[in-house]
Chains A and B, each alone.
Chain A
Amino acid sequence: AQTVTQSQPEMSVQEAETVTLSCTYDTSESDYYLFWYKQPPSRQMILVIRQEAYKQQNATENRFSVNFQKAAKSFSLKISDSQLGDAAMYFCAYRRGQRGGADGLTFGKGTHLIIQP
C-alpha cells in the first residue's frame, strides 16, 4: 500500500519570504498523481497544485511550485512571497493512475503553516 509522509508538523515563515514544505511517498506504481491541498481554518479543502508522475517538468501555479524528484519519491511545495492568506494546513496527497481517476486519495498528516507578519 502507498504511504505519504510529511515530516514537518509545523512551519513558520515571515510574510513575503519563501517557504518549502516537504513530502515523501512510497509506492510501487509507476503511474500516479501527486497533489497539494490547502485547508484553512474554514475546513474547506482547496487544491493548490497537482503533478503527473509521467511529467518531468515541475508544476507551477503562480506563487506555488513543486520540486518533484521521482527517483527519490519526493514532492515538496515551495511558496514564494508568502502572504497572510497562505496560513493553513497543507496536505500532500497521492492517487494511483490507470483507474480513470476513480481511486481515492492517500493523504499525509499535514503541515501547519504559520505566516508571521
Chain B
Amino acid sequence: NAGVTQTPKFQVLKTGQSMTLQCAQDMNHNSMYWYRQDPGMGLRLIYYSASEGTTDKGEVPNGYNVSRLNKREFSLRLESAAPSQTSVYFCASNLAGEHNEQFFGPGTRLTVL
C-alpha cells in the first residue's frame, strides 16, 4: 500500500514549456486534490475532484488544467509554465465522509526559469 504517489519529485522547466504532474492513490479514495505551497505560505488549493468524472476549481486555478483519468489518478498540467508557478505541488486524497482526513503525497518541487 503506497498511499499517494507523485511523479516527478523534482523538475526544472523553462518559461513557456509544458508539463504534467502525475498523482496516483491506491486507497480507493473518492476525492483527490492538487495544492501548491509557496515560501512562507500554507498550501493553496488549485483544483479538486470530488469523485471520478468531476473536477472543480479551487482558490488558484489560473494557468493549470487537470484530468481525473480514473478513480486512482489525477494529473495536473501546466500548458505554458511561468516563473510564478515555481512552487512545491502536493497531491492529496480522501475517502468520502465528513470526518475523513486527507492523505498527502510527498510533493513535487517545480522550478520555472
Contacts and interface: CB of A to CB of B under 8 A. Distances in A.
A45 B107 CA distance: 9
By size class, the interface of chain A is 20 to 34
B113 interface: no
Nearest to A6: B42
Contact of A109 (B31, B40, B48, B107): B40
A52 B94 CA distance: 16
B99 A33 contact: yes
Interface string A1-12: 000101000000
Contacts of A100: 50, 96-98
B103 to A, nearest CB: 8
Interface residues of B, number: 30
A93 B45 CA distance: 12
A101 B42 contact: no
Interface string B9-49: 00000000000000000000011010100001111110010
Contacts of B99: 33, 50, 52, 101
A101 B41 CA distance: 24
B106 interface: yes
B104 A102 contact: no
B95 A44 contact: no
A31 to B, nearest CB: 8
B101 A50 contact: yes
B43 A105 contact: yes
11 contacts: A33-B98, A42-B106, A45-B90, A45-B92, A45-B104, A93-B42, A102-B31, A105-B43, A107-B43, A109-B40, A110-B42
Interface of B: 30-31, 33, 35, 40-45, 48, 50-51, 58-59, 88, 90, 92, 94-102, 104, 106-107
